[in-house]
Amino acid sequence: MRPLRLACGVAAALLASACAATGPITTPTDAAQESAAPGYLAVADQALAPGGTLNVQVHIDSGAATGYDPQLADVATTWQLLSLSYETLVTVGPDFAIQPLLAEKWDTPDDRTYVFHLREGVTFSNGRKLTADDVVGSLKRLLASKSVWVGQLGPVDEIAKDGDGKVKVTLKEPYTPFLAALANVPAAILPMKEIDDKSVDPATTLLGTGPYVVEDHRQDVSWTFRRNDAYWNQGKPAADVLNITIAPEEAARIAALQNGGAALATLGNVDSESMLAGAADVKVVTQATTDFYYLMLNSLKPGSKLADPKVRQAINIALDTKQIAEVALGGKGEPTAVTPAGLPGSCDPAALPSAAKGPDEAKRLLAEAGAENLSFTLTIFNTEPAPAVAQVIQQNLQQAGITVKIEQMDEASWSGKVYGKAPAEFDAALSWFAGYADPGMVTKWWNPETAGFNAGFMRPDPALSAAIDAAGKEPAGAARDRALAEVCAQADADAQMIPLVTRPATVAFRTDALSPSLYATEGYGNVLRLVADARVKKSR
């Protein structure tokens, strides 16, 4: 009998303690979102006392193989983490407005020259004052590096000190996205004196001017940041300690939010919002981003029908991006052209030439190309919502008589298949780009001579490349909008990479533990952009 009693006792004790701890279930309100200022999803309540520990959970750690060097960081998840310690000359504000950061202002005496006036009183976290030499050295180091961001920085001709506290950058030709490119982490200002004298290796040490300094990092486990007491922006950061836990499983992040283990978490699955619908004191918001999914069609695979522009056009026409947004992304994304939807100056995807045509036109083009019974494999990674997007693509193309076999694999296998060889071995593949903060920036990846990583599956299109360069030179305004529309039309016709739908970011936070600031829009995938403003309501 004793074992049975023991078992029953343990079970009863567990059940009793569990039931006693059950909290009330309430429906969250949209109060915070409704009351936020224009351009914001939430604004931190400044009446709350600063201090405390902020616990955040994200799904992935920094890219890491290249270390902590911000100039070599090439994915948004790494930018997000490094942005806590590093800062740029300018930053992205609400609605993608470029705002001062380490440069308190800038002059543009002509369309090729930028003079940045550095902010007074800025120090690195080791206490050394930021100088113009750090700025000049950082930008020169970036341009001399193998960073993918060199392609985004544009045609920089010269970088030089321009008197005390000023730096002049001269471009070879006008380049409108220049400030937006400077606003991202790879263009962060590094402690060049320490790097030059080799007392600091940026690959292993984070030493910046940002609001937080790293106290501890365990790869793929957690980061602990503490506030940079010497931070120039007085009163920030509000939280004394920022703990970031890496939790790859979305269910674990949701659980941590619900039980208070995390005050804020990023979510990837479009269904997560409904899973948290009844959770007490948890609010879920959707941040519109310029990131977007796109379909790669391999035109370099020997013998592939996809090398024929008519076949690619037929596929482009047959795709219903509205349906992809509605069905696969639960209505949270929106159709986009090569210029990300939502960015000022971006093209209207409904106005693209392919949007005006239907499955009959797709069938006609396939017949002309002798590809009536076209069949190909679509290679995707297994992270949601990619499988759902692929299924809608499969159904769309079936309407035009195209058979798509979906090949789903883990991200490493997917990377190997898509980027491992040249020419690449896949037929079609699904991926997404960060859309950045200027509509002309991501279009550069449509030129494989600039974006070498695409050279394994796409041919340069001289007309498209010329249109991209022309749009980069046009100053913001009607003429640039027309130039960008031309880029969109050219990319639409080329169809080696077909833009599909935007990729929104879902963020959840505990309203009883945190009052965060969050922009309504984001161009560099940085959910933590305003984390220095966040007020911790109580230590949990």
Partner 1 sequence: MRLLMWWSGRALSSAATLLGVSVLIFAAVRLMPGGFAETVLGPFATAEQKAELATRYGLDQPVFMQYGHWLAAVSGGDFGISMISRQPVGAELLARLPVTAELTVLAVAASVLLGVPLGVLTAVRARPGGGGAAGRLLSGLGVSVPEFVLGSLVVFVFSRYALGLKVGSWVPLTQDPAANLATMILPAAVLSVFAISVTARTTRDAVMGVLVEPYVTAAVGRGESPWSIVRHHILRNAATPVVTLIGTTVAYLLGGALIVEHVFNLPGVGSYIVQAVGRRDYAVVQAGVLLAAGVFIVMNVLIDLLVGAIDPRLGVLAGRRS
List of residues contacting partner 1 (CB under 8 A) = 2-4, 6-7, 10, 14, 17-23, 25, 57, 63-67, 74-75, 146, 148, 204, 218-222, 245, 247-249, 251-256, 258-262, 275, 278-279, 409-420, 431, 452-453
Residue 251 has, within 13 A of its CA and on its CB side, a CA count of 0
| Residue 507 beta carbon to partner 1: minimum distance, rounded to whole angstroms | 16
Nearest-angstrom CA–CA distance, 397 and 16: 55
| Residue 275 beta carbon to partner 1: minimum distance, rounded to whole angstroms | 8
Nearest-angstrom CA–CA distance, 324 and 321: 5
The pair of three-digit structure tokens given for residue 155, joined into one six-digit string = 């045609």
The pair of three-digit structure tokens given for residue 210, joined into one six-digit string = 């940002």
Q: Is 120 exposed, middle or buried (0-12, 13-18, 19+ CB in 10 A)?
A: exposed
| Residue 478 beta carbon to partner 1: minimum distance, rounded to whole angstroms | 33
| Residue 530 beta carbon to partner 1: minimum distance, rounded to whole angstroms | 24
**3-class secondary structure per residue, 269-289:** CCCHHHHCCCCCCEEEEEEEE
| Residue 361 beta carbon to partner 1: minimum distance, rounded to whole angstroms | 33
Q: Which of residues 18 and 47 has its CB atom nearest to partner 1 in the complex?
A: 18
Q: Which of residues 23 and 235 has its CB atom nearest to partner 1 in the complex?
A: 23
| Residue 431 beta carbon to partner 1: minimum distance, rounded to whole angstroms | 8
Spatial neighbors of 406 by CB under 8 A, at least 6 apart, are 377, 378, 380, 387, 390, 391, 394
| Residue 443 beta carbon to partner 1: minimum distance, rounded to whole angstroms | 16
- For 339, the 3-state DSSP assignment is coil
Q: Which of residues 106 and 524 has its CB atom nearest to partner 1 in the complex?
A: 524
| Residue 321 beta carbon to partner 1: minimum distance, rounded to whole angstroms | 23
Q: Which of residues 17 and 27 has its CB atom nearest to partner 1 in the complex?
A: 17
Maximum CA extent, the chain: 91
Q: Which residues of 159-177 are buried (b: 16+ CB within 10 A; e: fewer)?
A: beebeebbbbbebeeebbb
| Residue 410 beta carbon to partner 1: minimum distance, rounded to whole angstroms | 6
Q: Which of residues 259 and 403 has its CB atom nearest to partner 1 in the complex?
A: 259
The pair of three-digit structure tokens given for residue 171, joined into one six-digit string = 């471009």
Q: Which of residues 68 and 225 has its CB atom nearest to partner 1 in the complex?
A: 68
Looking up tokens 């809608």, which residue turns up? 392
Q: Which of residues 115 and 409 has its CB atom nearest to partner 1 in the complex?
A: 409
Q: Which of residues 250 and 486 has its CB atom nearest to partner 1 in the complex?
A: 250
Q: Is 277 exposed, middle or buried (0-12, 13-18, 19+ CB in 10 A)?
A: exposed
Nearest-angstrom CA–CA distance, 344 and 379: 32
The pair of three-digit structure tokens given for residue 9, joined into one six-digit string = 């006792």
Q: Which of 365, 377, 252, 380 is nearest to 318 (CA)?
A: 365
Q: Which of residues 10 and 350 has its CB atom nearest to partner 1 in the complex?
A: 10
Amino acid at 365: L
